[in-house]
């Protein structure tokens, strides 16, 4: 069994895989990671390998605890991958984007794949049919856009994300919702269009925390998979067996 530890800035996703089958997944606050790890090791005593992907910060105590129980692989730019990394600065490529590209290559072999991860940031990662990672884009996520409008202006309120019936906002609140949500959807559709104009037979994957919220609004044919990153991390762990 494999344990996946995906560390964000505030939350950590923990998942247990048996080969390709996802048995368990939970999202916990970083401060409660140690307790949750103990529960997982108790419930799944056959875990033998762990991969840690740390976009945020993971304390040394947690790392040591995992390393005592299992064979540990910390994902870095030096980890082996099933694709050729053509990013001009490969060492700066985020480990989350490496995992997404890995999932794209292995789940959609020999296809042109655009992976859109809609979370804190919206990242776009492209792998071509020759298994070459070419790069992509990074833009502010939905929550970041709402927060920026509130923080960087004097009077605009901080709102929770919400779909609007019409793209023409007739109040401050509906104008903000339209600007953020309609703006994000229009951005995504436009970027998909750019890739489609250059690459034939494009497969588009939507993942991340806002997957279900956005998938209802997007017109392009996409495959929504909120567990795509976890699958990529599991593949990376298997690919980097000692």
Model confidence at 212, pLDDT cuts 50, 70, 90, reads very high
- Cα distances (Å, whole numbers) of residue 44 to 24, 30, 38, 64, 233: 10, 21, 10, 19, 19
Q: Report the percentage of the chain scoring pLDDT > 90.
A: 85
pLDDT of the residue at 46: 96
Q: Read off the pLDDT of residues 111-169 as tens digits, 9 standing for 90 and up.
A: 999 999 999 999 999 999 999 999 999 999 999 999 999 999 999 999 999 999 899 99
Q: For residue 233, count other CB atoms closer than 10 A to its CB.
A: 29
- The answer to whether residue 62 scores a pLDDT higher than 90 is no
- Per-residue pLDDT, 56: 62
150 is in an annotated binding site: no
State residue 34's pLDDT score: 85
On whether 95 is known to bind a ligand per the annotation, the reply is yes
6 is in an annotated binding site: yes
State yes or no: is 43 an active-site residue. Answer: no
| Residue 54 pLDDT | 87
18 burial (CB, 10 Å; 0-12 / 13-18 / 19+) is middle
**pTM of the complete model:** 0.92
At 14-34, the pLDDT tens digits run 999 999 999 999 999 888 888
Nearest to 204 by CA among 228, 184, 231, 177: 228
**Distance (Å, whole) CA 128 – CA 111:** 6
For residue 216, what pLDDT is reported? 85
Mean pLDDT for the chain overall: 94
Domains and CATH numbers, the chain: 2-74 (3.30.420.40), 84-233 (3.30.420.40)
- Asked if residue 215 has pLDDT above 70, the reply is yes
Task: Tell me whether strands 11-18 and 202-207 are parallel, antiparallel or unpaired.
Answer: unpaired
Q: Is 12 assigned to a binding site?
A: yes
pLDDT in tens, 160-207: 999 998 999 999 999 999 999 999 999 999 999 999 999 989 999 999
Q: Is the dihedral of CA 140, 145, 150, 155 positive or negative?
A: positive
Question: Of the residues 20, 43, 59, 96, which is catalytic?
Answer: 96
Give the 3-state secondary structure of 36-82: HHHHHHHHCCCCCEEEEEECCCCCHHHHHHHHHHCEEEECCCCCCCC
Give the percent of the chain with pLDDT over 70: 99
pLDDT exceeds 80 at position 10:
no
Q: For residue 9, is pLDDT > 90?
A: no
- Band (pLDDT 50/70/90 cuts) for residue 242 is low
pLDDT over 80 (residue 225): yes
């Amino acid at each position: 069994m494999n344990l996946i530890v995906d560390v964000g800035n505030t939350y950590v996703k923990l998942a247990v895989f048996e080969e390709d089958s996802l048995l368990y997944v939970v999202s916990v606050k970083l401060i409660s990671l140690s307790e949750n790890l103990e529960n997982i090791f108790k419930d799944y005593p056959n875990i033998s390998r762990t991969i840690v992907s740390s976009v945020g910060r993971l304390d040394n105590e947690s790392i040591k605890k995992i390393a005592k129980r299992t064979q540990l692989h910390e994902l870095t730019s030096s980890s082996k991958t099933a694709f050729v990394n053509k990013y001009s600065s490969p060492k700066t490529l985020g480990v989350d984007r490496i995992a997404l590209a890995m999932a794209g290559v292995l789940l959609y072999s020999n296809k042109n794949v655009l992976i859109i991860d809609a979370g804190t940031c919206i990242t776009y990662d492209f792998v071509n049919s020759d298994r070459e990672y070419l790069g992509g884009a990074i833009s502010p996520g939905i929550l970041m856009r709402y927060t920026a409008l509130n923080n960087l202006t004097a009077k605009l309120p901080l709102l929770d994300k919400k779909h609007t019936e019409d793209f023409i906002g007739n109040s401050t609140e509906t104008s903000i919702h339209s600007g953020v949500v309609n703006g994000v959807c229009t951005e995504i559709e436009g970027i998909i269009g750019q890739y489609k104009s250059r690459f034939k037979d494009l497969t588009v994957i939507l993942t991340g925390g806002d997957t279900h919220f956005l998938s209802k609004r997007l017109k392009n044919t996409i495959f929504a998979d909120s567990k795509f990153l976890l699958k990529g991390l599991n593949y990376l762990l298997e690919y980097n067996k000692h």
